Amino acid sequence: MGFGRGKVILLGEHAVVHGCPAIAVGIERGVTATAAAAERDLLRLSPWDLALRADPKGDEPLERAFAVALAMYPSRPPLEVSAQVDLPAGAGLGCSAAIGVAVLDAIDEALGIERSRTDLATAALAWEEIFHGNPSGIDNTMSAIGGVGFYRKGDALRPLRSNKPLHLVIGYSGESSSTKQMVASVGRQLKSDRKRVNKAFEGIEVLVRNAKLAIEAGDHIALGQLLDLNHTILSSLMLCTTKLDDMCQAARHAGALGAKMTGAGGGGCMFALAPKRDEALRLQDVLGEDSFVAEVSA
């Protein structure tokens, strides 16, 4: 069975698109998929009840992405791929990347192809480009590899190690967002006010490098403070909604060590860092029924 993890960017989103480092984690909630020989190529997605053909010129991005994926296997029978998606779409958790990784992983298994998870991540970038135009590569990399990673566009993922797991509570705002549009928005800001946006990117890079040290030292109090600062910079780039801000504030008031939006912004998800698991479960109650707990070992 193929599997692609969801991901949470701890720090560094948007700046990572422009060459700065970021830190992300892979979570165990994601997408599972199976593939089998069939009469025609077909991609089925649950729980959305979608059945899509592969079409490189299709109106739906999933049709085009599926065509790109199948083109990687020149000698094969027609395939029907069924994927079960357990992530909200357009929410900053890497749903499209998780689908792509799971689909390719399932096809590999059906055709008896063996490749490393690193190579799987590389292959899935072509899928991501259909959805996001200029992706950083962090989503497909974390989806395939998991753990906690320090990532810079074009470089290999650098796993981070710590003796303390991260207890995250991920909350969904209910507002969908387009990564492609939000990345383009920051690109326009960079073009019109390069000094201001580059200063924001430089600030984010400093936070990312300090967060790396905090994770490796197991200093989650410092990490929480860095998360809050990163959220403030992302807000200054007009990426955070009122709902996301309110959710972050509610989590902090309820005892979170830190909280921030994650992903492209303009909607989607936020997350809070809890000191331990029972506190994470309490924060889940604060953030509502669309939230869930993720424990990540570095």
* Residues classed as catalytic: 139
Sign of CA dihedral 296, 8, 158, 237: negative
Residues 6+ apart with CB under 8 A from 72: 104, 123, 126
Nearest to 205 by CA among 181, 183, 229: 229
| Nearest-angstrom CA–CA distance, 260 and 112 | 42
Q: Are 7 and 142 in contact (CB under 8 A)?
A: yes
What string of H, E and C letters represents the secondary structure of 198-234?
A: HHHHHHHHHHHHHHHHHHHHCCHHHHHHHHHHHHHHH
Q: What tokens appear for 254 in the block? A: 């309820």
Identity of the residue numbered 246: D
Q: Any idea which residue has 């991501």 for tokens?
A: 128
Q: Are 97 and 139 in contact (CB under 8 A)?
A: yes
